[in-house]
Structure 1
């Protein structure tokens, strides 16, 4: 019985150490590689739309933060990135339609509708930037998602900073904490093991 209790203590200690390590590494991930305050473009990272094609809560808040930053003059262009990764609706189009409905000129919004995950969000957005001769971007997403996005952005040479969208007001504290926990664990694994080989991620 004592051996079992010792095992439980050891397992609990390892779990606690893992949680602390994940939290520390998660908080220490850089938020930018530049001191710029004005950028060539904003990149709004996608999130699945609702089953009826309307913007989901996080998708709505990410888009609205992009609209606010655009109207504040942080950048004169918006890249909406995200394909039909989780249902039949192209995330970038849903976000574009919402931004235009909020007064952003359609000609200032670029739709990137191929990306199936965050790595591809950055990869395809960077290709658009290259084609437009843009060299800087503010990247907008949910607060819990941005550290993982920053780990990807570190592979790129363009100048960037991240900006968190507000949490949807309908999200409970439990929903917010659970998202942070999932992403912190994910980032810990990426820090320890590195990214899997991908044609979409520069080395």
Structure 2
């Protein structure tokens, strides 16, 4: 019994370590968006992922920085279109994060006609799955926080899209090291949680029964 418990907790410790290294690798090794400005590589769409919803009707600092980084890429000519993805994470105001992200991009000079939105998702897996209708068959560059990039890329790959690029506005949270530390721990846990959900969803979808898992399964 003791050996079994020790093995169990050892596995948990190794999983936590692997998740933390994954998040840190994503944060530290992924390219900064500003370093891609001037690149000759071109994409069809810049995909900006919302994070953390809104606070008092305004975008959280991390989401705002993602939008600004995406706008800078758009204005550099790296892609002719943008896609904002993010649903309602808080009941008040009942406005999808993606719509507020779009408004911010428009205020920065991006034409409204070049922006699509997805406003139902509440998780990274849903960001990818619910955006597929707008993005399928297009070359993509993903913009999100550094620690979140690798998991985001995997989520879009899981949804049968293959992003060709990705970048971060900054490696960690703009709001300081404490927020960055919490986000890294959360990302380490989310990696395995999302992996389990993604596998179960794919198995259910393979047999034609994803609805059995319920509408909240991927939240």
Do these two structures clear the TM 0.5 threshold for a shared fold by scoring above it?
A: yes
Instruction: State how far apart, in whole Å, the 2-side matches of 1:113 and 1:189 are.
Output: 23
Q: CA deviation at 1:150?
A: 1.9
**Which structure features the higher share of helix residues?**
2
Partner of 1:198, secondary structure, is helix
Alignment of 1:106 with 2:118, yes or no, is no
Equivalent residue for 1:51, pick from 50, 55, 74? 55
Instruction: State how far apart, in whole Å, the 1-side matches of 2:107 and 2:205 are.
Output: 36
Q: 1:195 to 1:10 in 2, by over 3 A?
A: closer
Q: Are the aligned partners of 2:173 and 2:180 in contact in 1 as well (CA < 8 Å)?
A: no
- Corresponding residue number in structure 1 for 2:215: none
Q: Are the aligned partners of 1:82 and 1:112 in contact in 2 as well (CA < 8 Å)?
A: yes
Q: CA deviation at 1:181?
A: 1.7
Instruction: State how far apart, in whole Å, the 2-side matches of 1:150 and 1:41 are.
Output: 14
Equivalent residue for 2:88, pick from 84, 89, 93? 84
- Corresponding residue number in structure 1 for 2:121: 115
Q: 1:198 to 1:68 in 2, by over 3 A?
A: same
Question: TM-score with structure 1 length normalisation?
Answer: 0.76
Q: CA deviation at 1:78?
A: 0.3
Q: CA deviation at 1:174?
A: 1.7
Instruction: State how far apart, in whole Å, the 2-side matches of 1:195 and 1:72 are.
Output: 35
Where does the alignment leave 5 or more consecutive residues of structure 1 unmatched?
Answer: 1-8
Q: 1:76 to 1:22 in 2, by over 3 A?
A: same
> Which entry has the higher C-alpha Rg, 1 or 2?
1
Q: CA deviation at 1:137?
A: 0.5
- Corresponding residue number in structure 2 for 1:40: 44
1:135-146 to structure 2, matched below 5 A, reads 135-146=138-149
Equivalent residue for 1:68, pick from 54, 72, 76? 72
| CA-based RMSD | 3.3
- Number of aligned residues: 186
Equivalent residue for 1:125, pick from 123, 131, 142? 131
Alignment of 1:22 with 2:19, yes or no, is yes
Where does the alignment leave 5 or more consecutive residues of structure 2 unmatched?
Answer: 1-5, 31-39, 207-219
- Corresponding residue number in structure 1 for 2:191: 187
Greater shift, 55-64 or 178-187, is seen at: 178-187
Q: 1:101 to 1:75 in 2, by over 3 A?
A: same
Instruction: State how far apart, in whole Å, the 2-side matches of 1:144 and 1:202 are.
Output: 29
Partner of 1:103, secondary structure, is coil
- Corresponding residue number in structure 2 for 1:6: none
